[in-house]
Amino acid sequence: MSVSDAYPEEVLKGLAVALLEAAGAPPDNAALVAEALLDADIEEMASHGLLHLPMYLDRIAGGSVDPGARGEIVTDLGSRLTIDAGNGLGQVTAERACEIATTRAAAHGLAVVAVRNAFHFGAAGRFARKIASTGQIGIVMANTRPMLPAPGGVEAVVGNNPLSIAVPTGGEPITLDFAMSAGAMGKIRLAASKGEPIPDGWAQTAEGKPTCDALEALKGTLLPAAGAKGFGLAVMIDLLAGGLSAGGIGEAVQPLYGDTARPYASANLFMAIQIEGMRPIAEFEAAASGFADKIRGSRTASGGRPVRLPGDRAAQARSRFDGFCRLGQETLEALKSRARRLGVTIPVALTDEGKGRSDYDRR
């Protein structure tokens, strides 16, 4: 990685915070969203990172996102709650939902927090992992606008609806985090922005023909992971998140990159399961850790790479992080464009003048 495509994380975060504040977000909301987006970039998941910030800013300007909202509890049954997010920034209401879920699970053994009128919250794994960091099992899901056809169909009828489950181990949680499409929409958008192809089996054209063209994929439909199995899981997530929250289901959820004046209307579900009481937490963590070690140490095919568990790739990326984040040129230019529009100063480190500065030379 060269300094030409990597920038100081603290500079990027400072710009993200300044942009959000200039758009009307309170400082704590702005800091939380900026941190969440940068964490995705640090984990080398650019499809969930700063790539989305220009769209967030456009939606705030368009009126479909309220940068100051934190969500309102509209149903409280102790271990079961519903939050109306009020179209607030997704990371803000997701953070609050996690805090409520872990607190209530500690009191009741189990807690479910359903969220309606929610906005994009980035990587679901961030929030499942947050729950797991308290010694509880975290389950997080969300629905999106329809992007997947039913098996054999060509019409998008259900979202690619992400699911994350995180289990504590006493160290790094084991974190499953995936959308129900064969490839994430964010990765397809990233490929389209770079003019790169997508893998076979990720999408089909509007006519139902297989395609590796990212732009054609955006016009067509994504294909579900594992065929009918991924499709079935996507349907159930829609019913759990949208159904329990009395929020949007299916086509009621709007395109994320659609009309900036029309709310996204996604729905989320956060679950926290208290382990202590069912068995000692130390015993559970030891069992999970031992199982993880056994899997990672299992034999591989000749010349094969070491076995990884869910979440290992992101954890390894965090361990390699050296203070600099990769950022696509198109994303950087979009951020600069919004900075000029909002009257925010562009840091020298993000300009051509700053690229060669010795204080950012990591040799």
- Tens digits of per-residue pLDDT, 101-141? 999 999 999 999 999 999 999 999 999 999 999 999 999 99
Residue at a domain's end among 221, 251, 275: 275
pLDDT in tens, 70-98: 999 999 999 999 999 999 999 999 999 99
pTM value is 0.92
What was the pLDDT predicted at 363? 33
Domain identity same for 126 and 103: yes
CATH number of residue 74's parent domain: 3.30.1370.60
Co-location of 175 and 129 in the same domain: yes
Any idea what the Cα angle at residue 282 is, between residues 276 and 288, rounded to 5°? 100
Q: Is residue 192 located within the same domain as residue 262?
A: yes
Task: Answer yes or no: is 182 within a domain.
Answer: yes
* Dihedral sign for Cα atoms in the order 352, 30, 127, 203: negative
Catalytic annotation present for 52: no
- With bands split at pLDDT 50, 70 and 90, how would you rate the model's confidence at 295? very high
Q: Tell me the mean pLDDT in the region 12-37.
A: 98
Q: What is the secondary structure of 206-268 as a DSSP string?
A: TTS-EE--HHHHHHSEEPBTTTHHHHHHHHHHIIIIIIHHT---GGGSPPTTS-TTS---EEE
Structural domain span for residue 201: 69-275
Task: Please check whether residues 47 and 22 belong to one and the same domain.
Answer: yes
The overall average pLDDT reported for the chain is 93
Query: Which tens digit of pLDDT belongs to each residue from 10-20?
Result: 999 999 999 99
**157/253 same-domain check:** yes
The whole-number average pLDDT for the span 345-357 is 77
In terms of domains, do 14 and 92 share one? Answer: no
Candidates 48, 52, 108, 120; catalytic one: 120
Domain count, the chain: 2
